[in-house]
Amino acid sequence: MSETCLRDAFECLDLPPEAGLVKVRRAYLELKELYAEGALASYGLFDGDARQGRLEQIESAYRLVLRKLTEGSRAVVSLHPAPGPGADGGEGDAAPVVVDESPGLFLRRARERAGIPLQEIARRTKLGVAQLTSIEAERYDQLPAPVYLRGFVEQYARLVGLPEPRQIAARYLARSARSEPPR
């Protein structure tokens, strides 16, 4: 990742290069709200395509900065292109997220690194704090059916800024299936 790209990403998020995860996450969420469809602050300034383009720039910048800030983390191995040619002969596809700890603990640590209180996750997901605590603690007997749980875990992973929320949810459900008796 070039220094210029990283500097541009921080500028897109209107942050200094020394900003940490908490500030990056807050800036990202504020910008998403600012450019959201129907947001009063930017309502008359952008048409649908311009607004969508800006949201895509913000998302891309956020993922780039997040990747840089979480490099070296035990839980996320890499999202850089995998070595060797991809299926189309190109540089390769993004490597999957690899988690080397329990999925619930991984989610909790990601939330804590992002500086997001559990109450904020509850407010944004409309789930109770007790249910979110059960997700983090992997208390499967206190969680809903897998069809609902998958969506909850994906939403949680997105809110704390994790890449590949579907893979994280799939891993969570796989562990859940191994850990609980059939219903």
Residue 84 in 3-state DSSP? coil
| pLDDT tens, position by position, 146-155 | 999 999 999 9
Average pLDDT of the residues of the chain = 76
Residue 174 or 44, more confident: 174
- For the four alpha carbons of 49, 17, 159 and 166, in that order, the dihedral sign comes to positive
Contact 98, 82 (CB under 8 A): no
Strand pairing partners for 81? 94
Spatial separation of the C-alpha atoms in residues 68 and 72, rounded to whole Å: 9
Indicate the domain borders of the chain. Answer: 3-70, 103-179
Q: Is the model's pLDDT at 156 over the cut of 90? A: yes
Would you tell me how many other CB atoms lie within 10 Å of the CB of residue 58? 21
State pTM to two decimals. 0.50
Amino acid at 32: K
Q: For residue range 43-94, list pLDDT tens digits in order.
A: 667 677 887 888 889 888 888 888 777 664 444 333 333 333 333 333 333 3
More confident residue, 34 or 150: 150
> Do 1 and 67 form a contact (C-beta atoms < 8 A)?
yes
* From the candidate CATH numbers 1.10.600.10, 2.60.40.10, 2.40.30.10, 1.10.260.40, the one assigned to the domain spanning 103-179: 1.10.260.40
